[in-house]
Amino acid sequence: MSTDVAHEEHHHGPPKGIGRWLFSTNHKDIGTMYLTFALTMLFVGGASAMYIRAELFMPGIQFMEPDFYNNMVTNHALIMVFAVVMPAAAGLANWMIPMMIGAPDMALPRLNNLSFWLLPAAAVMLILSTIVPFMPGTGTAVNTGWTLYPPLSIQAGMGMDFVIFTVHILGVSSILASINIVVTILNMRAPGMTLFKMPMFCWAWLFTGLLLIIIAPVLAGGVTMLLFDRHFGTSFFDAAGGGDPVLFQHLFWFFGHPEVYVLLLPSIGVIAMIIPTFSRKPLFGYKSLVGGMAVLFTLGLVAWAHHQYTVGMAAGPTTWFMIITILISIPVGLMLLNFMMTMWRGAMTFETPMLFAVSIVLMFSFAGVTGIMLAVVPADLEYHDSMFVVAHFHYALIPGALLGLFAAAFYWLPKWTGNMYDERLGKIFFWWNVIAFNLTFFPQHFYGLAGMPRRIVDYNPAFADLNMLSSIAAFAYGISHLLFLYIVIKTVKGGVKAGNKPWEGAQVGTTGLEWDLSSPPPFHSYATPPVVK
């Protein structure tokens, strides 16, 4: 507590035993826990994806009833969004932001630990939501998809209440984590580390944190109203009592659309660190990238209803949402141009992080193109709720979020552990992962355009061949992540010593302090503030 002895202890190594983790106030340890949790949940969420693809391997119903299939679709999305990408990004923020800006730790270290420990609680609730419907008399499974639209979500059984509370817990966790990160960035920078000297990763997280502070409470409010409609007799989403199910869609997507930027931006921040490093050139257009993110932030908050074109909104608002959505591709495109101009005439090398970064630029642009197709109202009336949308957002989210996280892991593992990862294995993982990913999701564009709907357990035999291809590739894609796990464990256990600055191009054009520290960095990075000149 607050005795003088405690003060002495600050400057020693980590506490012994399991208490180090359970009671941690150390940003690196909490970051490690976040990352471990995310990697674990990647396999849980991946298992549900494997189930989905196994079910879709052939037309007809292979294993369980349709409700279970739809429950797996729901869980897959909720887990990947809330229990994999967001915690992993928060883990990176925890590890890197204090080191980059020269802070001793996060601004509110105990709160930081709370944000993390709420996640396992949420995971338990989510798992219960899947188990509960197997008990007699508890109603249907959570079969709504992650969007939880009423009236289906009002009619669903008891599992839905567990999902609602899962969303509440996750909301609190991400609000607290975001407050912490925003305050750390605004208040804990070392003397001389001005906002515009910060590494881009910090900027990306600043916008992410602000977004979450705005949108997470709205989702929490929306599912609260759902809970009331389910159990306390209110009629927010029931037209017979004067309510409107479409209202829930608005609330969900007011959260949901900015949420995709919450998933995207941290990874954009990561590749904005990686591309300059391996091009050995400063980032092209630092300020314009910050400006681009600011525009994305603003437009992203007023574009949500492009997910609801088919629900019958009036023409005026529909047009607004279409125009804003199309406008968003301008800052998105500019960001990608920033990256390409950084590479232009750089002395590029292609270590694993860079391979990921370049492939992200390429594949994510593709998602931008299908996004534009979906943004156009008359076209979307055809595409909506088809596998084409599924293809679009997997091209957006896997390169735009997940691969960025892998890139970050390869880029920073040497810093975190002091050991180099196995470059040969890293490259094998990259090629295996990216090829399998494309084989899985590229065909979905075709059978989506041809009319195969999403979230339905069975399909027209006409789509059988390409679905089989998707499924086979999906298993290859899923298994590739075991190689990632192996590489990580191997690196943690040992390897060639990395040195303080394993990448010669790191820190080109940024004042970030992370590479000045040893690898692995000391338990408390800084006892007194370093000075940035």
* Nearer CB in complex with other proteins: 363/513: 513
Nearest approach in angstroms of CB 18 to other proteins is 11
Rounded to whole angstroms, the Cα distance separating 400 from 393 reads 9
Measured in degrees and rounded to the nearest 5, phi and psi for residue 392 equal: -55, -50
Nearest approach in angstroms of CB 166 to other proteins is 9
- Which residues are CB-contacts of 460 (< 8 A; sequence separation ≥ 6)? 59, 451, 452
The one-letter amino acid at 264: L
The one-letter amino acid at 530: P
Binding-residue total with ligand HEM (CB under 6 A): 26
Rounded to whole angstroms, the Cα distance separating 429 from 425 reads 6
Site membership for other proteins, residue 528 (CB under 8 A): yes
Nearest approach in angstroms of CB 320 to Cu ion is 14
- Applying CB under 8 A, the span of 171-179, 363-371, 460-468, 474-482 interacting with other proteins comes to 171-179
Rounded to whole angstroms, the Cα distance separating 221 from 458 reads 34
14 DSSP 8-state letter: P
- Applying CB under 5 A, the span of 34-42, 63-71, 146-154, 255-263 interacting with Cu ion comes to 255-263
Compute the chain's Rg from CA coordinates: 23
* Nearer CB in complex with ligand HEM: 395/416: 395
Contact call for residues 40 and 461 (beta carbons, < 8 A)? no
Binding-residue total with other proteins (CB under 8 A): 92
Rounded to whole angstroms, the Cα distance separating 261 from 214 reads 13
Nearest approach in angstroms of CB 394 to Cu ion is 14
Residue of 281, 384, 415, 481 interacting with ligand HEM (CB under 6 A): 384
Which tokens hold the place of 157? Answer: 């059984």
Looking only at residues 303 through 322 of this chain, which bind ligand HEM when binding is defined by CB under 6 A?
306-307
Site membership for Cu ion, residue 257 (CB under 5 A): yes
Query: What secondary structure does DSSP assign to 181-197, as a single string?
Result: HHHHHHH-PPTT--GGG
- Applying CB under 5 A, the span of 69-77, 133-141, 252-260, 421-429 interacting with Cu ion comes to 252-260
Nearest approach in angstroms of CB 323 to other proteins is 19
Residue of 60, 134, 187, 344 interacting with other proteins (CB under 8 A): 187
Strand partners, 497: 419
372 contact, one of ligand HEM, Cu ion, other proteins, none, CB 5-8 Å limit per kind: ligand HEM
Measured in degrees and rounded to the nearest 5, phi and psi for residue 516 equal: -80, -20
518 contact, one of other proteins, ligand HEM, Cu ion, none, CB 5-8 Å limit per kind: none
Rounded to whole angstroms, the Cα distance separating 304 from 318 reads 10
Contact call for residues 430 and 494 (beta carbons, < 8 A)? no
Looking only at residues 192 through 251 of this chain, which bind other proteins when binding is defined by CB under 8 A?
213-218, 220-222, 225, 227-236, 238-244, 246-247, 250-251
Footprint on this chain of ligand HEM (rule: CB under 6 A): 147, 260, 263-264, 306-307, 325, 328-329, 332, 367-368, 371-372, 374-375, 380, 383-384, 389, 392-393, 396-397, 400-401
